């Protein structure tokens, strides 16, 4: 299957490993990955901060760049959520029904990574090997906007060598929330403190999630504390393979 990657501006710029791992994983599973070079940003930050008018050209741009793609994969629950639940709304708010329809059509072919693997490609065992103690943070938008359910956990449980430990209060927000982390930095930090406490309670060496933004937040807190637990994107774990397996 030909799969277009929407890497997201955040992963492109700050977390390219998550994008590279997504490509490696899908190619290992026998699929062809393309990267439409004109892609930029889904506009989630603009929408969620209230700048819907500024997001409008980004909505139009996404619909244009990916209009001919059969399946689009996004290594981010929140960006997928924005594309699926906000793009058409933004277009309609400014009276562009034609764009809203195009945005809905593209959104229907846009999948978060675990959705693509489990629902579209029908894989739960991706042949990964990752001999580490790992805990999984489900991220709010994957959990409640996309309803990915236990798909990421099903994928992780099939990883060879992994020591997967349950995260207490997993479904509680880490406190990122985009510009929330800056506008309400104190509250965000309090939420992060509790999330880090949960992560550290698991004694995991790795905290994973399907969203670089939440990981940037949790990871930023953990390294500040020299906590000894690192954050790794779900794609990177699923892309890991035993030596020589490639």
Kindly state whether residue 98 participates in binding another protein, applying the rule CB under 8 A.
no
Which token pair is 230?
């690192």
- CA nearest 35: which of 16, 14, 1, 7? 7
The answer to whether 83 touches 61, Cβ cutoff 8 Å, is no
Q: Which range, of 4-12, 121-129, 160-168, 238-246, touches another protein by CB under 8 A?
A: 4-12
| Of positions 93, 101, 133, 154, contacts another protein by CB under 8 A | 93
| Of positions 49, 123, 158, 163, contacts another protein by CB under 8 A | 49
The structure tokens 């960006």 sit at: 79
The answer to whether 177 touches 214, Cβ cutoff 8 Å, is no
Is the C-alpha dihedral spanning 20, 122, 161, 10 positive or negative? positive
Coil, strand or helix: which one is 117?
helix
- Helices 185-201, 212-224: axis angle to 10 degrees equals 80
At closest approach, how far in Å is the CB of 170 from another protein? 12
| Of positions 41, 79, 117, 199, contacts another protein by CB under 8 A | 41
Total binding residues toward another protein, as defined by CB under 8 A: 76
Sites for another protein among residues 161-220 (CB under 8 A): 171-173, 175-192, 194, 216-217, 219-220
Kindly state whether residue 228 participates in binding another protein, applying the rule CB under 8 A.
no
Name the strands in the sheet holding 230-233, side by side, starting at the edge strand that comes first in the sequence: 163-165, 133-136, 206-209, 230-233
For another protein, give the closer residue by CB, 159 or 191. Answer: 191
Cα(145)–Cα(33) distance, rounded to whole angstroms? 26
Q: Which range, of 16-24, 111-119, 120-128, 235-243, touches another protein by CB under 8 A?
A: 16-24
Contact map string, positions 63 to 82, toward another protein, x by CB under 8 A: --------------------
For another protein, give the closer residue by CB, 42 or 164. Answer: 42
On the CB side of 4, CA atoms within 13 Å amount to 19
| Of positions 2, 157, 197, 224, contacts another protein by CB under 8 A | 224
Kindly state whether residue 39 participates in binding another protein, applying the rule CB under 8 A.
yes
């Amino acid at each position: 299957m030909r799969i277009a990657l929407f890497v997201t501006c955040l992963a492109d710029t700050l977390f390219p490993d998550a994008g590279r791992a997504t490509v490696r994983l899908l190619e290992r599973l026998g699929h062809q990955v393309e990267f439409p070079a004109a892609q930029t940003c889904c506009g989630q930050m603009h929408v969620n901060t209230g700048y819907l008018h500024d997001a409008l050209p980004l909505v139009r741009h996404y619909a244009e760049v990916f209009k001919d793609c059969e399946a689009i994969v996004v290594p981010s629950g929140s960006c997928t959520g924005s594309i699926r639940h906000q793009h058409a709304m933004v277009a309609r708010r400014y009276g562009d029904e034609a764009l809203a329809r195009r945005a809905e059509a593209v959104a229907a072919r846009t999948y978060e990574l675990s959705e693509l693997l489990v629902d579209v490609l029908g894989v739960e065992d991706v042949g990964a090997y990752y001999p580490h103690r790992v805990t999984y943070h489900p991220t709010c938008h994957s959990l409640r906007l996309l309803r990915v359910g236990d798909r990421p956990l099903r994928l992780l449980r099939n990883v060879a060598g992994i020591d997967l430990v349950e995260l207490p209060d997993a479904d509680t927000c880490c406190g990122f929330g985009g510009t929330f982390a800056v506008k309400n930095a104190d509250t965000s930090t309090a939420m992060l403190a509790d999330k880090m406490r949960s992560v550290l309670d698991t004694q995991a060496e790795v905290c994973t999630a399907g969203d670089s933004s939440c990981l940037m937040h949790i990871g930023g807190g953990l390294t500040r504390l020299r906590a000894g637990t690192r954050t790794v994107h779900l794609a990177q774990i699923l892309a890991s393979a035993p030596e020589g397996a490639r």
